[in-house]
Structure 1
Amino acid sequence: FGSVLLPGTAFVELALHAGERIGCGTLEELTIQAPLVFPEHGTVVLQVVVGAAEADNRRSVTIHSSTQTNTWTLHATGSLSAEPATTGTPLTEWPPHDAILVETDGLYENLAAAGFGYGPVFQGLRAAWRRGDEVFAEVALDQDLWDEANRFGLHPALLDATLHAIAATGGPTGLDGPGLPFAWTGVTLTAIGSPVLRVRITHHQNATITLDLADGTGTPVGHIDALTLRPVTAEQIDGATPHPHTDSLFQLEWVPAPAVPDTAPAGEFEVLEIPGPDTGVDQITDVHTRVTDTLTRLQTWLDEDHPDTTHLIVLTHGATTADNTPITDLTAATTWGLIRSAQAEHPDRITLIDTPT
């Protein structure tokens, strides 16, 4: 859609590299929170942070970026472990028995027309076959880039090209049109630096696939238990410099509510107003105290015997960014998450209203 993105496979490579340096070579899961859109000018700083070992020896991993605006954008979160790598399945019989060759001529032209333009380095799909729910593909870097493959565990452009076989064979099950990697689970490597890959892709429901990766001889080099794809639109990737609160594939949008006619029926209603911050204590203590108090008041109201038409209005001040107004009360903002859960459990009984002051 006219914007230059870091491929989702590069986030995987970054996380695996960080994990390998501390003995955690298995990427148990990695969820892409927001795409990294490169600015037209300037540089992007990447930050990969691995957390301390937890009780089960797993470690968290996060990937952020920052541009000249000096704001940090969270792109991916996940976890690493020292679990042994999955051996993977050899792909020595090639092409696979009973697999049907799929025409791939014109694939990249068709993807470009759909808004997904791949540069020369990424046009690595060489052949694809289909056998039932399985897709087989052969991908390779141009030979003048083979030395570059040794710089990576698995070259991001090469891994990205394996996913192009899905588009060539009809798209993933449960996804209407092209998509981007969203969540990776169980990613392991048993060999590094291969410039050629054979891959077996197994389709599952809900746009999820499993990948077995092998080198040019069919020897396993990696395995991905599950990769889930998600659709993406031009509106979600508009080429603007990323903003930490607006570049996620999932967004909260404010929609003006229609005016209610004066003749609309109305029942009893009560107002639960969230008081302002207590300036006499530190902010963290204030948030915990006030949110806990709000929860108690909400539970008390729900336990009371009210007529079915009685409605609770929770009134906050400075809790949202509607109309581009800043959040001025952290507790009130936290309360909105709490009340949304209550709304889901008690439909049509609670309304949230926020005012700037």
Structure 2
Amino acid sequence: MRALIFPVCWLLLMSPAAWGTVFPDEPRARTPLVISAALDLSVVSPLLEAFQAAHPRIDVDFREDTTLAVNDSVSNGPPAPDVVISSAMPLQMARVNDGWARRLDSPQARAWPDWAKWRNEVFGFTFEPIVMVYRLDLARHMLPPQTHADLQQLLTSHAELLDRRVTTYSPQVSAIGYTLSQQDARYSTRFWELVDAMGQLNAGLERDTQTMLEGINEGRYWLGYNLIGSYAMAYAQHHPDIIVQVPMDYSLVMMRMVFVHRDAEHPEAAETFVNFLLGPEGQHVLAGQTPLFSPLTDMAGPWTARRLREQVGEHLYPIPLDASLLAFVDPARREAFMRQWRETFGSVEDSPSASP
């Protein structure tokens, strides 16, 4: 787990009365804010820095961890985290459904799109495409895939060359990997044929996007399937041999889900942070400075849902943020799905130390 404490910027020349005028929505005293997040600090830093600049009397304690650890942090208190952020959408929904979230009644929460929130308790504040990634030198051997059909064709026509050189999430040990596989099966009638093709090539099953990106960059893998686009795009900015492809036939879209913990020790600071995420200030940072993408249709910038639709068309399928996510945490459904996965993929040797 990584934690980052952002220092407080003291405004020495301002009186407490002036503070109230400049920051009417903040707690009067210096306040800590604990955020438990499955979100890479390197990607979200511009957002945290902008929040800190706007609210200098709130000390942000950002605790980056795995989706499983973040999920456990919800009920492992006291103390509880003030804010919970995760890409594991079904786990977040299950926690909210069990009553762990505080309902927000702010202008930002009320104005947030209905399709990206649930009961004004949990909010999807990003719009991250799920992508394919390949090494630039793959093009020397074959035409890089642009669609799922292209990918399946490559896996069968270049089987010998791609043996052990393809990677994807392990749905067994990764919460987001399991969710993506379930959604793929929902949208594609050929999903299980793709799983079979990857199994025939002894594809490497990994627990996170970062590990897959590192494997592709090092040459252990040539091609990666179902990586989180925000991480892949940020990585590719500093690794020119890495090419990110948003599938042109259909692309799943994941949303980071955020809620204020019902037992937050600093609820005012927590609500201030979530309102910042949902408001124009936070969304402008997402759209302009991070590849997390703003879901708002009226937001301008290089990282927006609108810009993504202009490039890909209408083949973007956001994972629904509604009660249907609860089905994915049902143990019987999970076991049935994983049984079919193992039978189709073949031998699965997941590392016992791996985690979502």
TM-score scaled by structure 1? 0.21
The higher radius of gyration belongs to 1
Higher relative contact order (CA 8 A, sep 6+): 2
Of Structure 1 and Structure 2, the greater strand share is in 1
